Amino acid sequence: MEQPRRWGGLLDLPEALDDLVLSHAAGVLSRRDGEDQVAVRGGEAYGRRLVPAPAGSGGWTPSGTVLVTGGTGALGRQVARWLAANGAERLLLTSRRGPEAPGASDLRDELAAAGVEVTVAACDAADRDAMAALVDGHRLSAVVHTAGSLDDGVLDSLTPDRFDDVFRSKVDSALVLDELAPDADAFILFSSTAHAIGNPGRPTTRPPTPPSTP
């Protein structure tokens, strides 16, 4: 997208490579049909497509204690309000600045007025020891991971360290949270559509790991 004259893409091959797979791979690489993300499976080549997901059979009703990372940010605030209005009894809201974040005190008072027990804490979600200490003694019924960081720049200007910083806040954090809340009823990860449709100047954006499983 930033360098349209250069060819690049993703070719996803199965673990076992045979002559048929290699033949299809060669065919994909020689095509000029505009497909730049292709998977070869079962003797067929599949291009990537975004399709509407079917609606679930039922909704999720929050209860008990819910952890929201990035809880004092724009996304986290809206999530916290929704959780408070729909059954959550206790909210653990984390962010890098915690109670010192702009508007954090007002948000805590607003949620408390709705009858919810609220803790706002400064905590790096990728720091396993810090997160473990924060959730110790709580049975987390759900985790909502909205935390993340931006470090925009064209691809040629980025360094491995800049990639690592962005991935730490989203990917490493998700792995820590998954480990600390293995029995959560809901594990919800926020990401950006930029990883799917592209956004010039934002090559570090990608979906979180592991996949969200409400």
Contact 96, 71 (CB under 8 A): no
**Of the candidates 114, 40, 34, which has an alpha carbon nearest to the alpha carbon of residue 81?**
114
5 CB contacts (<8 Å, ≥6 apart)? none
Token pair belonging to 12: 């996803």
What's the pLDDT tens digit per position in 148-175? 776 666 667 777 777 777 788 888 999 9
CATH class of 65-197: alpha beta
Contact 166, 202 (CB under 8 A): no
Q: Is omega for the bond preceding 210 within 30 degrees of 0, making it cis?
A: yes
| Whole-number pLDDT of residue 152 | 65
| Whole-number pLDDT of residue 185 | 94
| Whole-number pLDDT of residue 203 | 55
| CA–CA gap between residue 8 and residue 3 (Å, rounded) | 10
| CA–CA gap between residue 189 and residue 15 (Å, rounded) | 28
pTM for this entry: 0.74
| Whole-number pLDDT of residue 214 | 36
Domain ranges (residues) in the chain: 10-47, 65-197
106 CB contacts (<8 Å, ≥6 apart)? none
| Whole-number pLDDT of residue 161 | 78
pLDDT-flagged residues of the chain (< 70)? 1-4, 7, 57, 150-155, 194-214
